[in-house]
Structure 1
Amino acid sequence: MDTDLIRAQTPGTRHAVHLNAAGSALAAAPVLAEVVAHLTLESEIGGYEAADAAAGRLAASYGTLAELVGAAPGEIAFTESATRAWDQAFYAIPFKPGDRILTTTSEYSSNALAYAQAARRHGTVTEVVPDDADGTIDLTALEESLGRGGVRLVALNHVPTHDGLINPAAEVGALARAHGALFLLDACQSVGQLPVDVSALGVDLLSATGRKFLRGPRGTGFLYVRGGVLDQLEPAVVDLCAADLTGPSSFTFRPDARRFESWERSVAGQLGLAAAARYALDLGLDAIAERVQGLAARLRAGLADVPGITVHDRGRHKSGIVTFGHTSAPAATIVQGLAARGVVTRVSEQTYRYDDGPTPAARVRASVHYYNTEDEIDTAVTTLAALLRTLA
């Protein structure tokens, strides 16, 4: 991996040590150029005409996103975010009273809201699979829960946003498939950071975003729907992209995953998302994962030597997301102090818990990417140590 070239193509690296890929990573110049060029064309000839001119590249974008996750082009739908992709998948499932939904202790709050609404609308029951001793989803407990029957959906976040772990998606997918449950993988933090192959992971449905580790534009995402489950699902919202009217009160859905799309979308965003996917593919997903995890390990090791700092990451396999806290300095104070010194991090809060325990205190989240350097990681650690001395 040519880090010098990557950084030359990443203008944001000139301004700060950017450790917020889990929030919104720095875009690469080819992605920016793709978006700006199309917006410029829209201003010159009109939005519809510009879309017509880009029709071939738009059609090709589905193949690029499919290649990114090992899918077929007809299994990909473009969305405006990972949240909307996840919602489109979840709300299309024909739940019945008593259907069980299995999830994890590290679920996102927006997904938890959808479970609560499904319980109100359909009488579903959401159950949390406990963690094992490493903080990862307990596969034995998952298998036992599946064995009791009635599970309609297993929903897993591949890489939680606030504790650094990588969940064993392939093992979860195999168990869900063996017990006849749908498997929905929230991959918003893993696509662009890790190799993700929907067939190898046994995924039925997958949601992903552009703005995080994929380094695409904000306001973009995509949904994967396995062809074999497509006809089991009915989109919650239908428009002229999703279906065709066949009579005054009848219609037919598109035969592919684009039945989950809306007709109106950001064409520039879709082209930029495909450019980001191609950039990652050209670098190599295995090479990306190796570098990200190496930089994160270096950061964790450096933080371990800073007095008063505790790293809160869990799991046997850890991602590029590193979370930590201090014995006395609040997370917000640390984040603000680091930003003033040229190191960009983020406050991370786990805003929802399924149990009755106390909500964990806010943490500092530093999420590395392959455009960071070893020197930047060391600078972040020494800057933090110096900041903490001023707060003592």
Structure 2
Amino acid sequence: MNLEVIRKETPGCSDKIFLNSAGASLMPKAVVDATVKFLYEEQEFGGYTAAVRNSAYISQFYEETAKLINAKPSNIAFVSSSTDGYAKALSSISFKEGDCIITTNDDYISNQIAFISLKKRYHIEIIRVANLPDYELDLEDFENLIKKHNPKLIAVTHIPTNSGLIQNVERVGNLCKQYNVLYLVDACQSVGQIVVDVEKINCDFLTATGRKFMRGPRGTGFLYVSDKALNENMYPLFLDSFGAKWTSFDDFQLNETAKRFELFERPYAALLGFTEALRYANMIGIDQIENYNRALADTLRINLEKSGFRVLDKGNRLSSIVTFCQADGKVEKIHKILSENRVFFKENHKGDALIDFTSKNVDHAIRLSPHYFNTMEEIEIVSQLLGNINH
């Protein structure tokens, strides 16, 4: 990693300390250039012709995504967001009354709302696995619940948006494989900041977004669909002419690949920008990004704890999402000093993570999410600014 080059290629980091990559990160110049270039081609030739002219480049989206997560291009579908892909995956499952979804206490808010919606409509059961005292998943409880309830689906968020916890998706995947249970992983906060390998996770579906740690445009994401799910002819509830061929008055033939989860209409300019973001991350190497991010986040947590802040991240393995509050549980002073010094951050509220924040007895948390274009010097500057609050 050449940090000097990376920062030069990231114009947005020149006049601020940007620590909100878990929200929407800063795009490299190459990503913006690819997006804008296609828009100019649409202006000149129209959208259909521009897409045809860039067909080889568009196909690289599938190749770069597959390379990123150790899959095949045929397992990849373009979606407009992680939530979009998640909803399409859920819609491919034929839920009926009495079915069960097993999930965790640290799942993403939109996923939990989707489960509750399914519960209201189909009268399914939602069961959440217990956590051990160190906040890790209780895998023994997981296995017992699988044996007892024979779930239709197991769904785990790899890294929740509200804390730095990295959940043990690989061990859960082993259980899903052992008991032949469908497995859906939300990787919207992990893809781009740590190594994600679908072969090791053993998932049937995995979703990710472009705008966060991948540093792509908004309105982009991908859905991974396993060979098992494809071979079992799983498909989203609403297909269109891209996902299937209309073969007779009352029948259709599915696309053989994960593209059956796509729609004909998609923002090609954003897709090409996302392709460039994928290529950029693959070129640097996610393993290098993960190691550097860990050093940034670990240093930040240590400094915050030394300065008397309450760091809310719990677990044996933590990510580049650092959540904290003042010792009294408030965040107003933190909010003020970061805003005044052009430090970009996110404030999370209890409604964003009802179960987690209730268990930690907090209503608000400040979230800082350093990424590989940040410097250790920036971490020390922010640590010093915040340290002044308690002195």
Q: TM-score scaled by structure 2? A: 0.95
Q: Which residue of 1 aligns with 2:364?
A: 362
| Secondary structure at 2:222 match in 1 | strand
The farther-off stretch of 137-146 and 190-199 is 137-146
Structure 1 gaps, min length 5: none
Q: Which residue of 1 aligns with 2:152?
A: 152
Q: Which residue of 2 aligns with 1:371?
A: 373
Q: Which residue of 1 aligns with 2:235?
A: 234
Distance 2:325 2:212 in 1: 23
The C-alpha deviation readout for 1:1-49, integer Å capped at 9, x for no partner, is 1111111111111011101010011111111111111112112222111
| Secondary structure at 2:23 match in 1 | helix
Q: Which residue of 2 aligns with 1:216?
A: 216
* Amino acid in the other structure paired with 1:137: L
Alpha-carbon distance change, 212 to 355 in structure 1, aligned in 2, over 3 angstroms: closer
Structure 2 gaps, min length 5: none
* Amino acid in the other structure paired with 1:36: V
Contact 1:338 1:387 in 2 (8 A): no
| Secondary structure at 1:364 match in 2 | strand
Give runs of aligned pairs for residues 197-276 of structure 1, distance below 5 A: 197-230=197-230, 231-276=232-277
Contact 2:106 2:355 in 1 (8 A): no
Contact 1:183 1:205 in 2 (8 A): yes
Q: Which residue of 2 aligns with 1:380?
A: 382
| Secondary structure at 1:148 match in 2 | helix
Q: Which residue of 2 aligns with 1:129?
A: 129
Contact 1:98 1:150 in 2 (8 A): no
Distance 1:162 1:136 in 2: 15
Q: TM-score scaled by structure 1? A: 0.95
Q: Which residue of 1 aligns with 2:184?
A: 184
Give runs of aligned pairs for residues 1-392 of structure 1, distance below 5 A: 1-230=1-230, 231-307=232-308, 309-328=309-328, 330-331=330-331, 334-351=334-351, 352-353=353-354, 360-387=362-389
Contact 1:76 1:224 in 2 (8 A): yes
The farther-off stretch of 225-234 and 31-40 is 225-234
Q: CA deviation at 1:232?
A: 4.5
Distance 2:362 2:88 in 1: 30
Distance 1:201 1:183 in 2: 9
| Secondary structure at 2:280 match in 1 | helix
* Amino acid in the other structure paired with 1:244: K
* Amino acid in the other structure paired with 2:6: I
Q: CA deviation at 1:148?
A: 1.4
Distance 1:288 1:356 in 2: 29
* Amino acid in the other structure paired with 1:131: N
Distance 1:161 1:19 in 2: 14
Distance 2:349 2:92 in 1: 29
Alpha-carbon distance change, 384 to 348 in structure 1, aligned in 2, over 3 angstroms: same
Alpha-carbon distance change, 356 to 206 in structure 1, aligned in 2, over 3 angstroms: closer
Alpha-carbon distance change, 357 to 282 in structure 1, aligned in 2, over 3 angstroms: closer
